[in-house]
Amino acid sequence: MNASPTFSSPAGARHPWLAVVAVGLATFSVVTTEMLPVGLLTPIAQTLDTSAGTAGLMISLPALLAALFAPLVVMAAGGTDRRRILCGLLALLVIANIAGALAPSMSWMLAARILVGFCIGGIWAIAAGLARRLVAEHAVGLATSIIFGGVAAASVLGVPLGALVGQMWGWRWAFGGMAVLSGLVLALHLVVIPALPVAGSASVRQFGVQLANRQLQVGLVLTLLLVASHFMAFTFVRPLLLSVSGFDVQWLGGLLFAYGMAGIVGNFLMGILAARYTEQTLLAIALGLLLTPVLFLLVGGSPMGGGMTLLFWGLAYGGVSVGLMTWMMKVAAGAVEAATALYVGAFNVGIALGAWLGGQMVDWLGLSANLRLAGAFAAAAVLVCFAIGLRQYKAVTGRKQVHVMPD
């Protein structure tokens, strides 16, 4: 295999920006499907006669499998046309959502979620490097933002959209709706995405080199800590808002939609800051995710306190994807496809770890203990950010001292 893919650039799409939007919609569809059970956890658990902790496997299982599949897809793709891979994965996503909508038992549901995990890893890994294939070089930055904007939008809007549909028509219709949306995105791909042949794919050696990259390692650790912290608590946001903050169930969809809007604001705000102040932006995000469980424990026991904390939570988490991906692209500029696959792996391990640990804590010790553990993970991320800043400060002062030393 080649050390890195060989592309023809750009690919000659008739409508390049429509093709970019289509890829962004693919990432939106797969991540929304991944997040869908979060806002529907309680009714799904009740219908399928299982505990909230076991139902949390609907999040952790596909995320863990996505972490395994992302680098494997990049290495195994070889010279296969990327358009064919994307279309095949979107077709599988349609099937997975239909299976989820019809699930008669939790075993059936988890089987459908395994298929979702395969789609997540594959679509994320392939879509990440397509911007340079679709548009001219000067527009690659904007195209990349749109593609990853699908991930960011899904991360903050997928849960409230699912909750709203589930509240109005039932959770099975939420999965059915995602099947329809995925089918429409597939049809759009067939129309607007050009052929995307490649001469090879990333090699095992290239992944090994990036895994030995100290700065990339730091980014992967931060990804794991921040994402696990978030999903440890957010997987159980529905019982948190209903049981702790005391909201009536009819408020849930609107609350999560407001959270999603705050997340979109956070995504663009942190994206602008991360381009110039990456380390400081990551520190701000980590502090925000540390403050969130603290605020829920201190003032989240009332609807007003819980609602304000939820908005702050959306603002803080909205910047996670763009902030971390900016770090990855800076420290692995020569191997973005391999670095992205590793990032996708760490991100989804974080989802799986957070959802699983959160489920165990909720089942055994309750929601408050789960919030404390989420805060501990975010606190560890804050310490890593401080360590990054300290190392950079020492490097800068060391260079200054060398500069002023006499010959």
Q: Is residue 129 part of a domain?
A: yes
For tokens 């080199």, what's the residue?
209
In this prediction, residues 362-378 reach a mean pLDDT of: 87
pLDDT tens digits, one per residue of 275-314: 778 888 889 999 999 999 898 888 877 888 888 889 899 8
CATH (domain of 31): 1.20.1250.20
Judge whether 52 and 359 are in contact, CB under 8 Å.
yes
In tens, the pLDDT along 314-359 reads 888 888 877 887 788 777 766 666 777 788 888 878 887 888 888 8
Backbone angle region of 9, left / alpha / beta, with phi > 0 → left and psi within -120 to 50 → alpha: beta
Q: How many beta carbons lie within 10 A of that of residue 313, not counting itself?
A: 25
Average pLDDT over residues 389-405: 56
Q: Does some domain include residue 403? A: no
Residue 259 domain boundaries: 16-395
Neighbours of 403 (CB within 10 A): 7
3-state secondary structure 303-360: HHHHHHHHHHHHHHHCCHHHHHHHHHHHHCCCCHHHHHHHHHHHHHHHHHHHHHHHHH
pLDDT at 307: 85
Q: What is the pLDDT at residue 3? A: 43
- Give the whole-number percent of the chain exceeding pLDDT 70: 84
Q: Rounded distance, CA 268 to CA 288, Å? A: 16
- On whether residue 264 sits in a domain, the answer given is yes
How far apart CA 159 and CA 278 sit, in angstroms, is 27
C-alpha to C-alpha distances, 22 to 17, 179, 231, 253, 354, nearest whole angstrom: 8, 16, 27, 27, 30
- Within a domain: 10: no
Burial (CB < 10 A; 0-12, 13-18, 19+), residue 153, is: buried
Contact 331, 216 (CB under 8 A): yes
Q: Number of structural domains, the chain?
A: 1
105 within 8 A of 58, measured Cβ to Cβ? no
Does residue 75 sit within a domain? yes
Say what the pLDDT of residue 319 is. 83
**Helix-, strand-, coil-residue percentages of the chain, each rounded to 5:** 85, 0, 15
Calpha distance 66→263 (Å, rounded): 23
Comparing 57-71, 192-206, 371-385, the range with the smallest average pLDDT is 192-206
User: Whats the size of the chain, residue-wise?
Assistant: 407
Q: How far apart are CA 127 and CA 116, in angstroms?
A: 16
Angle at 67 between CA 61 and CA 72, to 5 degrees: 125
Residue 359 placed within a domain = yes
Residue at token pair 């705000």 = 269
3-class SS of residue 50: coil
Task: Please say if the pLDDT value at position 385 is more than 80.
Answer: yes
Assess if residue 182 is contained within a domain: yes
Tell me 49's DSSP state. T
Residue with tokens 């055994």: 364
Q: Rounded distance, CA 37 to CA 175, Å?
A: 9
Under the banding of pLDDT at 50, 70 and 90, the label for residue 153 is: confident
CA–CA dist 322, 34 (Å, integer): 18
Assigned domain for 41 exists: yes
Are 182 and 90 in contact, with CB atoms under 8 Å apart? yes
Contact criterion met (CB below 8 Å) for 11 and 133: yes
Q: By C-alpha distance, which of 318, 338, 304 is closest to 1?
A: 338
